[in-house]
Structure 1
């Protein structure tokens, strides 16, 4: 495969070796900020639907109900509460994410030829997730604390200090094992699906925004639906410090949280927020992949002109 720019050819799929991790990480940071910022209001709705909060019982039973409740009680600006946390955290986290992805994919032989390499895609996706989630988890905790109904935190620094004073450093990482249990299969599934769909839609691996958008969106939707139960568990653990439920406040990990959810809501409780999760993830991953591939193409175009 080759694409012609200024009369020359270049391989689109992977950045040239002399670019190193820096350009991959910059492209990833751009993609991460774009992804999280655009779909943030829907992510807030998902959190409100999943969180255990007696005063919010019945208020967030569906998307329409959740939107009207927030508008009536708190106003539209509430939909953006905590967005600064994902902007600050998503850039570095996604830089690490895509930097690791490209590095591991290359080491695993995913860039050797034009063939299909699902194992390399899955391995690189899982490795990228482990690295980036270690950085992003504290920001995700802060984000969900600020998204909760009645949250009084005005800045991410204020929220971080409050959480640390009340619950200690462990509060920022109590959900990390659960997050990995969710995001590793999510990312591995997403990357395999993305690579597979892209291979079918764009066998020549040319830069094609439509392919990247559609493949990214479909891959994200499938992965989001499959991992929603773990996302519900993660939300319970990350918001346990603000719930009035005595059991939830003492949940120590994945199995404790899962037991609480099953006892209170039955098996359907693990699907709470599945619709906004899919609705937010599908365009999010489409935006993320399109932005990432666009940034890579831009770097190559700039190189070709020099």
Structure 2
């Protein structure tokens, strides 16, 4: 039997299917830029803590930390995060629908698989921008623009420098994003968003918890990735000639032991908790806003939300 009042309820689970791939991509691009820009200074601190150097004299001679130099390289993130996150979220929504993760109940494996597919697309596009970002984040970096940094890296180390960390990045990012997406979807449903419709508090809490869990588990891989992406700036020949994941892991283990794989753990978690909360809440809001705009009969709900 048809119930007219059911059409007036805002079906949260239909958000992904009611928005087009282009709209999902647009929402994802805004979410990615907001996420990275908001937490960029903390990410810079994390990168500097993870960089390994055997020369303590060089470390002592490095310039003092200022808020201004903590923002170096943010242009690279803005330039790369927009298209990379657009591809990321569009792929995620497509795969989530394809794997039936949108159906009623909890589907962690389907959500994780969709997150893994989205990560492959995202990281392949984002990795060169991430290399430039981390080179500019270094405390002793003298680069004044992303073009200068990219040109210098290319001329000295070749195109391979932009992709040497990609295998490690994928090894880290696939479990990270799989855990994050599965955890987010789980907490989003547990916290009541599935039943109550669009709820910003749910997206913030679920996103923050997902970011904390995923970043905690994958910190060791992030330390290895940072070593590989910044190896060209090191005065240590062993680090400078690191050829991949195994080589980098051996160096870290020899220098610092197991503790070395958790360098920058706190700022990494402190970066990903709020950044995931920001990313998911912005993404879900933009999708909701697009959906409301395309459904005039639901404009009353938008007005009620804005008035809160």
Identify the residue that residue 306 of structure 2 maps to in structure 1. none
Identify the residue that residue 98 of structure 2 maps to in structure 1. 107
Higher mean Cα deviation, 204-213 or 49-58? 49-58
Q: What RMSD, in angstroms, separates the aligned Cα atoms of the two structures?
A: 2.2
- Give 1:205 shift: 5.6
CA separation of 1:16 and 1:268: change in aligned 2, threshold 3 A: closer
CA separation of 1:136 and 1:187: change in aligned 2, threshold 3 A: same
**Structure 1 position 266 matched with structure 2 position 257:** yes
Identify the residue that residue 51 of structure 2 maps to in structure 1. 51
CA separation of 1:211 and 1:259: change in aligned 2, threshold 3 A: same
**Structure 1 position 287 matched with structure 2 position 283:** no
Distance 2:271 2:64 in 1: 23
Identify the residue that residue 32 of structure 1 maps to in structure 2. 32
**Structure 1 position 198 matched with structure 2 position 184:** no
- Give 1:119 shift: 1.6
Identify the residue that residue 141 of structure 1 maps to in structure 2. 131
**Structure 1: tracts of 5 or more residues without a match:** 61-68
Identify the residue that residue 175 of structure 1 maps to in structure 2. 165
Count of residue pairs brought into register by the alignment: 292
Matched position secondary structure for 2:268: helix
Identify the residue that residue 239 of structure 2 maps to in structure 1. 248
Identify the residue that residue 163 of structure 1 maps to in structure 2. 153
Identify the residue that residue 64 of structure 1 maps to in structure 2. none
- Give 1:195 shift: 1.0
CA separation of 1:206 and 1:58: change in aligned 2, threshold 3 A: farther
For residues 76-111 of structure 1, the C-alpha deviation after alignment (integer angstroms, 9 at most, x for no partner) is: 201101111111110100000000000001111112
Distance 2:56 2:291 in 1: 50
Identify the residue that residue 117 of structure 1 maps to in structure 2. 107
- Give 1:57 shift: 7.4
**Structure 2: tracts of 5 or more residues without a match:** 298-308
**Structure 1 position 238 matched with structure 2 position 229:** yes
Distance 2:68 2:269 in 1: 23
Matched position secondary structure for 2:9: strand
Matched position secondary structure for 2:20: helix
For residues 249-277 of structure 1, the C-alpha deviation after alignment (integer angstroms, 9 at most, x for no partner) is: 11111110000000011110000000000
- Give 1:53 shift: 3.1
> Do the aligned residues in 2 keep the contact of 1:56 with 1:149 (CA within 8 Å)?
no
Distance 1:221 1:17 in 2: 28
Matched position secondary structure for 2:29: helix
- Give 1:14 shift: 3.7
Identify the residue that residue 22 of structure 1 maps to in structure 2. 22
Q: Give TM-score, length-normalised by structure 1.
A: 0.90
Identify the residue that residue 219 of structure 2 maps to in structure 1. 228
For residues 130-179 of structure 1, the C-alpha deviation after alignment (integer angstroms, 9 at most, x for no partner) is: 10000000000000000112111111111111100000101000000000
Matched position secondary structure for 2:24: helix
**Structure 1 position 132 matched with structure 2 position 122:** yes
- Give 1:298 shift: 0.4
Matched position secondary structure for 2:243: coil
> Do the aligned residues in 2 keep the contact of 1:29 with 1:90 (CA within 8 Å)?
yes
Matched position secondary structure for 1:79: helix
Matched position secondary structure for 1:229: helix
